[in-house]
Amino acid sequence: MVDGYQSLTDSQWQVMACLLPAQGRRRLCLHQVVDALLYVCRTGGQWRALPAEFPAWTAVYCYFYRWQQTGLWARLNTVLNALDRLHDGREALPSLVCVDSQSVKLAPRIFEHRGLDGGKRVNGRKRQILTDSGGHIWATHVHAANGHDSCGALGLLPHRPWRAARVHWC
């Protein structure tokens, strides 16, 4: 396919295909759409810079936006994390999760969700990440950097797919 990028294997695609909605006739191959989405995520490239081997960037972005709005990405993340944990011989859902934050500088022209993190002297955003001991990301939350870590992390808690897990604040 594209140099330096490996598309999903057939076995990986079979797992993904079972989790995607199966409605209506499709003009595009969902395997190619998912590969294009993963390519953008892995390379950090722009939508308009998708290589010609993938479907048109507008179609790929349309799928991404629709799936994000309907919560499909969050459900995919939860199910794939649980399957990976089961494959490793662990329980599907973790009993302990860790929350950590990172402040990130923003370009001067971006004003939405922007603030000054006085302790780290960063003018930008703060991202909170909820992970388990295996490094699986279960939820993320982005907010202005001037918010306290504990307040920002509270935005993660409603998104956990389980309620019994203990939370460890890093």
Mean pLDDT over the full length of the chain = 81
Residue at 148: amino acid letter = H
Q: Is residue 96 located within the same domain as residue 164?
A: yes
Instruction: Let me know the angle formed at the C-alpha of 101 by 92 and 61, rounded to the nearest 5 degrees.
Output: 70
The residues, any chain, with a CB within 8 Å of residue 59's CB and separated by 6 or more, are 28, 33
Residue 76 lies in a domain: no
Q: Is residue 125 part of a domain?
A: yes
CB 143 within 8 A of CB 155: yes
Burial 127-148 (b: 16+ CB within 10 A, else e): bbbbbbeeebebbebebbbbbe
Number of folded domains that form the chain = 2
If pLDDT is split at 50, 70 and 90, which confidence band does 148 have? confident
pTM of the model: 0.75
* Amino acid identity, position 98: C
Interatomic CA distance for residues 19 and 38, integer angstroms = 16
Tokens of 12: 């990986």
Domain of 41, in residue numbers: 10-70
Instruction: Report pLDDT digits (tens) over 32-61.
Output: 999 999 999 888 888 999 999 999 999 999
